[in-house]
Amino acid sequence: MDAGNATEFIRMVAVGAIPVIFAITLHEVAHGWMARRYGDRSAEMLGRLSLNPLRHVDPLGTVLVPLLTLWLGGLMFGWAKPVPINPRAMRNPKQAMVAVAAAGPAANLLMAIGWAWSLHLAVGLAQWAPVAGDFLGRMARVGVIFNVLLGIFNLLPVPPLDGGRVLRGLVPESVGRRLDAIEPYGLIIILGLLLLGVLNIVLGPLFRTVLDLVWLFSGVKGG
């Protein structure tokens, strides 16, 4: 990596670090918060409802993978350490797990909208502080794109992703047991779909649709 590429890489890390870290942190906090509402205080007792990113850092998913994916493809991706969830401690465990699983992607959608709205602030800031306004604008766009991507990816109906958890809570128990049997192989299935290009075919149109809706809702034309 020459000096020019190194400088560009550092700039991209600086722009993407805050939105990516908070996206994966608040995704997990949302799971823990919803679990607490249904009676499970496991995450709270372990301090995992904190907004301090250090409490949620996974060395692989929060540090290595985001840097590697940014270096390879120009777009950060990653995850935080999963919050502990105890369905047996919840009221109406099956219903509760649907809400707990859905809370993470819902938090990402709300964050995407929040980052999109912050683009209005970036435009105003750029009028008297161009460098700061440009930096905030770039950061906001990363925040929107990453949160939409993370939310949609997690909604894939493959356990152990959130979409698989939601599906598990909605189907009859006989089907649910089959999903439980698939879960140990879920990440292998997802990797296979990714390598075959199936994920791009399935998620690409949905990603673009949700992204367009976020821009529309926030009043930002074309992002």
Cite the active site residues: 28
Burial grade of 223 (CB within 10 A; 0-12, 13-18, 19 or more): middle
Please report, for the chain, how many H helices and E strands are present, in that order.
9, 0
Indicate the angle between helix axes 130-154 and 3-37, nearest 10 degrees. Answer: 50
**DSSP string covering 130-190:** HHHHHHHHHHHHHHHHHHHHHHHHHTSSSTTSHHHHHHHHHS-HHHHHHHHHHGGGHHHHH
Tokens of 207: 């990603």
Identify the DSSP state of 87. Answer: G
Euclidean distance between CA atoms 130 and 182, whole angstroms: 52
Upstream peptide bond of 105 is cis (omega within 30 degrees of 0): no
| Residue 150, Cβ density class (10 Å: 0-12 exposed, 13-18 middle, ≥19 buried) | buried
